[in-house]
Structure 1
Amino acid sequence: MQLHITGHQVEVTPAIRSYAEEKMARVKKHFDHHLDIKMILSVEKLQQRAEATLHTAGKNHFADATAADLYAAIDLLADKLDRMAVKLKEKMKDHHRGESAAKQEKFG
């Protein structure tokens, strides 16, 4: 898993970086192949914002979270990405389990 963390008007300290890596490890367990996550941490007035783009095979998925505390925003973002990863994995699994149209139709 590649995790790129950048800060916009926020300094990304080693503590914040390790906390984000720990939380994003939950997302990694849902995928066997290469996973790339780009995370942007920013401050908007009194709100802390965390946003991430999840790059999977051929698709990009975006999620963001806002909270009063940066660590809480990272937690909310990790929860959103985890739910998104589960949904994507189930969608891929269900897509390949379908029967062909010819087997389902009754002829004659």
Structure 2
Amino acid sequence: MQVTTTFRHMEQSEALKSYAEEKLDRVAKYIDEPVVAQVYFTVEKKIRHIVEIVISAKGISTKASESTNDMYAAVDAVIDKIERQLKRYKEKIKAHKPNGDERGRQISKIIYQAESIETSVEPVVIRTKTETAKPMSVEEAVMQMDLLHKDFIVFTDAVSNEINVLYRRKDSNYGLIEPQRG
């Protein structure tokens, strides 16, 4: 596991860094290699100690933060929070494993030059991102959205093998966009 630590508004502490790395080994059993973890230690107003951890691994990304008045307690609390998230993710993946083929579909990306945006009268797509539409069920897509803190997710329906879009509505419910056969 590759761990990067950042200290904000405080002196670097080797003891704190090694404590966080030791605790991160506890969550490594829930995710596949390679794992990259970023740990941010922040002190605000000399009494509020905040620890934020972002973990990226093959096919999964999660983050959590916790604030207390003790940095070690904040590390313990945020590790517990991430462990619960990853445990829930692992259990749902086992329950919703797609039986179909495992190929992902690539969605193309185009980035326009800044000059063409300024001269254009029509609305222009400023940035697009390439996403792999992985086969999964709607329940698994909801879980991925919650885990990754996203407002929408593009995925391939494991049953119909069609690309779908799941999005979070303003009323905190979910909407599903399915393709229509014409």
What is the alpha-carbon root mean square deviation over aligned residues? 2.0
Q: Tell me what 1:63 maps to.
A: 64
Whether 1:54 and 2:55 are equivalent positions in the alignment is yes
Q: Tell me what 2:27 maps to.
A: 27
Q: Secondary structure at the match of 1:96?
A: coil
Supply the distance in 2 between the matched residues of 1:29 and 1:60 (Cα, whole angstroms): 15
Supply the distance in 2 between the matched residues of 1:44 and 1:57 (Cα, whole angstroms): 33
Q: Secondary structure at the match of 1:33?
A: coil
Structure 1: segments with no counterpart, 5+ residues = 102-108
Structure 2: segments with no counterpart, 5+ residues = 100-157, 160-182
Q: Tell me what 1:90 maps to.
A: 91
Supply the distance in 1 between the matched residues of 2:6 and 2:54 (Cα, whole angstroms): 12
Q: TM-score, normalised by structure 1?
A: 0.82
Q: Kindly indicate which of the two structures has a greater share of residues assigned to helix.
A: 1
Q: TM-score, normalised by structure 2?
A: 0.51
CA apart distance, 1:90: 1.2
Question: Per-residue displacement from partner, 1:34-86 (whole Å, max 9, x unpaired)?
Answer: 11111100011111000011112244222000010001111101111111111
Q: Tell me what 1:3 maps to.
A: 3
Q: Please tell me the residue identity of whatever aligns with 2:10.
A: V
Structure ID, larger Rg: 2
CA gap 1:59/1:30 in 2 versus in 1, 3 angstroms: closer
CA apart distance, 1:97: 6.5
